[in-house]
Amino acid sequence: MTLANISGVVMDMDGVLWRGDVQLPGVHEWFSLLRTRAIPFALATNNSTKTPTDYVDKLAHFGIDGVKPHQIITSSTTTVDYLRKHYPAGTKVYVVGGDGLRTLLVEAGFQLADDAQLVVAGLDPQLTYAKLKQATLLIRAGAEFIGTNDDRTFPTAEGLAPGAGSVLAAIQTATDQKPRTMGKPNAPMFEAALAILGTDAEHTLMIGDRLETDIAGAQRVGYRTALVLTGVATADDVDQGTIKPDTIYADLDALRGDFI
């Protein structure tokens, strides 16, 4: 696979560009290559705790300047897009999630409330039993259960930590209700990226660190795929599993070397 066949690139962030606050190898060089070749890119993450603007700031902190908020898709932005299409502004929403999710919901005109007809849950760094209880009571009373994404874990500098899927599992266990999830591997996030890039799936490369979300979801939409081994998935996972990326690299530096 060469960049001659690729007209756009979509990248995950956690486990691809960084782990926690630690930047991963080859990031600057990879962005430089994309810009030198004038290849459009988008960033797609299932992390729902931050807004696109937060990610622009984090990228700048790592010395990656010039990325615009509209180039960043999160499971929160995808969730808000879904809610806008199906519920009017002012609809009450109970949130189990981070500040980024809350901010986007308020900006979209939704009302955060304890007596809500919607429960939206994702990764919540301040998760409490009280939040789980309130979500459970609302769903059992008929509220729709929406999940930002169902990643069981996410990579940090210390290792794998509980992800949004762990939060959803707790609520699902208590309610016997499966959430409607919005993030990868579901198609809306990948389709949104193609709209941003103006490319077709066949000539778009997805770079990720998770087989079941980044790679499987992209393949269903028709993307080319590259797995980097700097996050969750290992080479053994590929060997022993059924999801097979087009290519596998140790990190972005190795991927870039294959495209020079």
Residue 35: CB atoms within 10 Å: 12
Q: Which helix (H) or strand (E) holds 10?
A: strand 8-11
pLDDT of residue 25: 93
Question: What does the alpha-carbon distance between residue 126 and residue 191 come to, in Å, rounded to a whole number?
Answer: 31
Please list the alpha-helical segments (H only) found in 37-96. Answer: 52-61, 75-86
Number of helices and strands in the chain (H, E):
10, 15
Q: Hey, which residues are catalytic here?
A: 12, 14
What is the average per-residue pLDDT within 203-227?
A: 97
What is the average per-residue pLDDT within 9-27?
A: 94
Percent of the chain with pLDDT over 70: 99
pLDDT digits (tens, 9 = 90+) for 224-246: 999 999 999 999 999 999 999 99
Question: What does the alpha-carbon distance between residue 47 and residue 183 come to, in Å, rounded to a whole number?
Answer: 9
pTM attached to this predicted model: 0.91
CA distances from 260 to 11, 33, 34, 42, 223 (A): 18, 8, 11, 20, 21
Domains identified in the chain and CATH numbers: 3-46+184-259 (3.40.50.1000), 86-181 (3.40.50.1000)
Which amino acid, 35? R
Q: Using 50, 70 and 90 to split pLDDT, how confident is the model at 2?
A: low
CA distances from 113 to 120, 123, 143, 167 (A): 11, 18, 12, 19
